[in-house]
Chains A and B, each alone.
Chain A
Amino acid sequence: MKPLDPRLLRRARAARWYVALTAALGVAAAGALVLQAFAIAHALGPAVTAGSAGTPLALSDVAPWLGALVATIAARAAIAWAQERYAQKAAADVVAELREQVVAHTVALGPRPAGEGGAAATATLATRGLDDLGPYLVRYLPQLLLTAIVTPVLVLVVLGLDWVSALICVVTLPLVPLFMWLVGVMTAGASERRLHTIERLGAQVLDLLAGLPTLRAFGREIGPGARVRALGDASRRATMGTLRIAFLSGMVLELLTTLSVAIVAVGVGLRLVEGMIALVPAIAVLVLAPEVYLPLRRVGAEFHSSTDGLAAAERAFTVLERPLPAAGTATAPALAGATLVLDGVGVRAGDRAVLAPAGLTARVPLGTGRPGGGRVVALRGPSGAGKSTTALVLLGLLRPDEGRVLVETAPHEAPVDLADLDPATWWPQVTWVPQRPTLVAGTVRDAVTDGRPVTADALEAAARTTGLHDVVAGLPQGWDTPVGLGGTGLSVGQRQRVALAAALLDGGAPGGAAPPPLVLLDEPTAHLDARGEQVVLDTVRAWRAAGRTVVVVAHRASLLALADQVVDVASRTVGPVEAVVS
């Protein structure tokens, strides 16, 4: 893994200016360190020399250098302040940028954004996962840049002062990463084996604690206490075994860097005695030597935040680099009175060698938008046959792997393929009520009207049809009761009624556009009581009466009984299955 992923700079604008700023601050920091070393050396050196000669200096003799030291204090404080302040901000900005991109890209990938770990992994990434970038950007990256900027600058300065010391630095610096790498390679196998043991022991302790309620139920809770203790002890011993090895690389790092500083110091001291170097450059070298190694030491210390952060970035880029499905560009024709033709439609179900639906062929005449021109079409089939998938295909969210969906507007016009149509012109003509409808955060009224102008009468009528007025009557503030993101505070059934009422009002505003001629309803499967069922039936009837075609994914007998047309949906692994149109 590269220590700085170029994709991070490409994808996140905040990361670009942050790296530039940190590099600039790094140059400034190098300058401040050099100035500090010279100021100390020029103030202390003459004072020591003059004092040794018996002619002590006054403060005024070194006043300019003391002034320079005051300037260094200010400069170093300002640099540290800016670094910390803007690092935090940049980290938050980068995380926000990547989060929005990951979320938007996942949505654009369609209803099946298949990927490693599935939806849960993406959700974790978009919420907590990207936070790992914080320590990487705030702590690790600056030290990495300082190693690249400050260390060479300081070595060059030392070279100007005392080439022997510079040579020591140049020889020892590469040894640090080399030895750390060697230690890492030699201990990797042992650590991995031990890590596995540690994880297993940890899981066992958590298992016992998580099962405590169960143990109490059966009166068996006292015995395992000793086991928790013994497991904890074993886990500690195993962990210490790993740490003994893991900390070796840290020891090598500390050993090499401090020893190098000591060698520089001794060398400078011995050459001073022989008069091969003056006191002022000697002190400057002495002050600069630890600073040469400091960024490298910090890089080593922050190594873990680098691996975590880079792994988080890598996961984000894996999502972002998944290619988007091609979208059509043609403008969709007006749907009222047209016919949807499913021609041998088949969709592969995930990674399995199953087509669900398979070979689905049907003609679905769409509503005219005038009363009496409506129709109810039920999709029927066992679970897993691809009923909901068929709805996704009709929405244009999913492309069939086999066959196609055509729109016939008039007998003499050539039919157009749904795949060629621009979704932005198709979706305004469709109303979709999925099994788990999303709700606008706000009041119940907001959730139903969604910002559209709706008259009180229309709202009341929709609420009566969908049984929502029962729900509203039971809420503490009626229509003005706040519901949270995703409709928290409402049960699944109540949420369903809100969604049905909203869908009933879709496009039906007085003076507004004609209601979308096609309604796709995915009937809720679980936990529906008699009243809930009735609500769905009433709503479907209301849509039909308004002249709209309702394609419903049916799980229950009552909806099938209501349907004007039933389309059987079946899946298959091998061999074609004819779709039956009754």
Chain B
Amino acid sequence: MRPAARPADPLRQVLPMLEVRWTRVARAVALGTLALGFSVGLAAAAAWLVARASQMPPVLQLSVAVVAVRAFGTGRGVLRYLERLASHDVALRGMAALRANLYDALARGPVTRVIALRRGDLLARVGADVDAVGDVVVRAWIPAGVAACVGLGSVILVGAFLPSAGATLLGCLLLTGVLAPWLASRAAASVERRGAAARAEVTGRALELLEDGQQLRVAGRLDGRRAGLRAADARLTRTTDDGARVSGTSAAIDAGAQTLAVLCSLLLGIPAVAAGTLTPVELAVVVLTPLAVFEATSTLPAAAVQLRRSREAARRLVALLPALSGAPTTVVHPASDSPFDATPVSGAPPTPAGQGADMLLRLDGVDAGWADRTVVAGVDLALPPGAVVALAGPSGVGKTTLLLTAAGLLPARSGAVRVGDGGALFVAEDGHLFGTTVLENLRVARPDLSEDDARAALAAVGLDAWLDALPDGADTMLGPDGADVSGGERRRLLVARALLAPAGVLLVDEPAEHLDAATADALVATLAAHARETGRAVVVASHRLTPLAVADEVLLLGISSATGGRAARVVARGPHAALRRDEPAYAWAADQERAGEARVLPG
């Protein structure tokens, strides 16, 4: 039952973070042992009572047994209740400690580690995975401990009367307590491993039908796809079925072993009575006690499956933690321009400013990209105080990747990134809003922020009317992750928070997303005006071109046969007006934005 003593066991690696107090575990195991022990005691005492009663002794001689049977019958429920409370307390303490330790480890680990986490991943790890690791206490350790104690106690009890019967009971208990759980765990593992691909296919096909069902109907391909889903589900069922054969064997062992133990006791006990080494009353105890013992091991197959599940969850947690795992975690491979959902993050500058200290940010021949490929190549950029620079280019060209590299959150694949005093702050498309007040959310950027300063910052991004409409003003609570604010309000709150940060350079990704054209343009203008006033620098990535007129320089990223290969380069740079004049594609795209607004959206 216990995890094998391998150094790589992730459950063992995570264990210290649970801060388990072993006295509490021992208490829960003791209570559980007593509860099940009472069951065994009830069976043994009842067997003794019935056998002795059949000899028709004076009733007084039975009174102890009668009291014992009644006590065992009453105590079990109460003890089991106390055991469940004790074991859940241990588990909940473990989960809380694990979450806190996980937080600390991530907060103190390297920043690139944190940025590389997808929001969904992070939530799944600290949510379901921590629960799964905590469940190991209630569903695996304590049942295993209880089963071991009760099993051993029963073997000793039976063995005291008839050693050979004790031995056969032990053998049967090992069948149900070791072999059956091992089989169940193996079955679960095979279903999980072989079913993963089949399950993914079923999910994919079901979602395709739901999302694209109307197209498939019109194109006359619906029946084919339905058959495809059915076939995929049949494959999934087959993998379940293979596992079910093994777990069926486990269940069969469980069911048969109990009766086998009784049979062995009879086979050994009846001759022992004839030989005079066992009294008839003791025979009844030896034969009937095993009937109650196997309840202890009946939970172990499920415990073994839980142990496996918890270990898998622990493995994912270990992978999350820099201190525990040598290899890097999830390599984020962005399918879109926005690889993470939860950001603004600033990193420690990869290189101190060095020469050109008057520059807030300097890129020299930088190749930006992910572990396996360069996305944007050969970028040179220098930002003096007050500079406003824009990155333009089609979606997916690598604007976000370049911003992350400039912020020091992704190592440059070649070239040098130098960040001046104050650092650089990356403001992602979808940063996190905390489930607290508006003011506290802004204080994340500046702890000593006054309410008036907060109001000013919100007014700068056009949220003053919104703030006035809130029931408690800046003290209004936002729902978890800003569930109560609209997409546009959220973008503006994130920008307002970024403006309050002390960073020298703001790297803002798609500030115009989710905003209508006029608000979007005004927000970019606010950022530019702010930079020029305060002597900070701003880089804005935008697929919308109209607002970029306020930038000192626009870098147009693109992939063409001239750039060779698949990495994007800066295909043109200069002020918005110059690019409109010289770059037909840029001019065309900018015209489209205007024409679209003028003709398609009247008013």
Contact = CB atoms under 8 A, between A and B. Distances in A.
B600 A380 contact: yes
A273 B104 CA distance: 69
B50 A265 contact: yes
A77 B252 contact: yes
29 contacts: A76-B256, A78-B252, A89-B244, A91-B240, A92-B240, A99-B202, A107-B214, A210-B126, A213-B340, A214-B345, A215-B107, A225-B103, A232-B100, A255-B74, A258-B39, A258-B73, A266-B70, A395-B214, A397-B217, A424-B220, A434-B214, A434-B215, A484-B204, A486-B204, A486-B212, A530-B589, A531-B585, A555-B600, A556-B595
Interface residues of A, number: 151
Nearest to B213: A107
B236 interface: yes
Contacts of B119: 210
Nearest to A558: B592
B373 interface: no
B73 A56 contact: no
Interface stretch (B58-66, B305-313, B364-372): B58-66
A236 interface: yes
Nearest to A120: B210
A36 B205 CA distance: 50
A391 B150 CA distance: 71
Nearest to B84: A247
Contacts of A224: 103
Interface in A395-438: 395, 397, 423-424, 427-428, 430, 432, 434, 436-438
A66 B244 contact: no
A137 B288 CA distance: 33
A188 interface: no
A106 B480 contact: no
A192 interface: no
A286 B47 contact: yes
Contacts of A204: 435
Given A47-B270, A77-B253, A432-B215, A272 B585 contact: no
B50 A269 contact: yes
Interface string A227-252: 01100110110011001100110111
Given A127-B207, A255-B78, A236 B215 contact: no
Contacts of A259: 73-74, 77
B54 A279 contact: yes
Chain A interface helix/strand/loop/mixed:
helix
Interface string A546-563: 000000001111101000
B435 A529 contact: no
Given A76-B255, A77-B253, A255-B74, A556 B218 contact: no
Interface in B31-89: 38-39, 42, 45-47, 49-51, 53-57, 59, 62, 65-66, 69-70, 72-74, 76-78, 80-81, 84-85, 88-89
A123 to B, nearest CB: 6
B165 to A, nearest CB: 13
A57 B102 contact: no
A225 B444 contact: no
B81 A250 contact: yes
B208 A486 contact: yes
A210 B92 contact: no
A424 B383 CA distance: 62
A290 B291 contact: yes
Contacts of A215: 107, 444
A51 B435 CA distance: 76
Contact of B107 (A56, A222, A380): A222
Interface stretch (A5-13, A79-87, A348-356, A368-376): A79-87
Contacts of A436: 211-212
B230 A265 contact: no
Contacts of B111: 216
Contacts of B435: 203-204, 207
A516 to B, nearest CB: 10
Interface in B235-251: 236-237, 240-241, 243-245, 247-251
A40 interface: yes
Nearest to A46: B270
A48 interface: yes
A119 B434 contact: no
A171 interface: no
A213 B114 contact: yes
A259 B80 CA distance: 14
A430 B202 CA distance: 30
B262 A40 contact: yes
A450 B219 CA distance: 11
B319 interface: no
B283 interface: yes
B201 to A, nearest CB: 8
